[in-house]
């Protein structure tokens, strides 16, 4: 048995507060139509403490090369225009990356998430 959870991080917080050095001005601007931009992270783990490669969903159809090159090699980058988890993205992760991880770690099948 495995357990998993996803967390969403808003790119445009409604509080209007951001962290920055004192005295800085024009810290950020919100692009119109991007109010619901989000980053989603899905982590699946075993009771023993083993963690599957996390699924990261960024609001890009084609993420910047620099971002992909600097991401840890065992993380999985999913595709989502909004950064929100969708059924097809979840299925792709389970069918490909998660399934491969189970095989590599020689977990007894069937597994239950």
pLDDT, the chain, mean = 84
Average pLDDT of the residues in 27-42: 69
Please list, residue by residue across 64-78, b when 16 or more beta carbons sit within 10 angstroms of its beta carbon and e when fewer do: eeeeeeeeeeeebeb
pLDDT reading at 33 higher than 70: no
Cα 25 from chain centroid (whole Å): 30
Distance (Å, rounded) from C-alpha 67 to C-alpha 80? 15
What pLDDT was estimated at residue 28? 60
What pLDDT was estimated at residue 19? 59
The tens digit of pLDDT for each residue in 56-108 reads 998 887 888 888 888 999 999 987 877 889 899 999 999 999 999 999 999 99
Q: Do 97 and 43 touch, CB atoms closer than 8 A?
A: no
Q: Do 38 and 11 touch, CB atoms closer than 8 A?
A: yes
Q: Residue 3, exposed/middle/buried by CB under 10 A (0-12, 13-18, 19+)? A: exposed
Distance (Å, rounded) from C-alpha 19 to C-alpha 9? 15
Going by DSSP bridges, is the β-strand pair 55-59/76-80 parallel, antiparallel, or unpaired? parallel
The tens digit of pLDDT for each residue in 13-26 reads 666 666 567 777 76
């Amino acid at each position: 048995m495995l357990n998993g959870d996803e967390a969403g991080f808003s790119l445009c917080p409604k509080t209007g507060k951001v962290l920055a050095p004192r005295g800085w001005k024009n810290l950020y601007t919100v692009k119109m139509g991007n109010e619901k931009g989000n980053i989603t992270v899905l982590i699946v783990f075993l009771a023993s403490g083993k963690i599957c490669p996390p699924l990261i969903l960024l609001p890009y159809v084609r993420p910047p090369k620099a971002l992909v090159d600097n991401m840890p090699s065992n993380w999985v980058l999913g595709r989502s225009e909004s950064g929100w988890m969708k059924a097809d993205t979840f299925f792709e992760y389970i069918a490909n990356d998660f399934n491969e991880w189970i095989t590599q770690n020689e977990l007894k099948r069937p597994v239950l998430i």
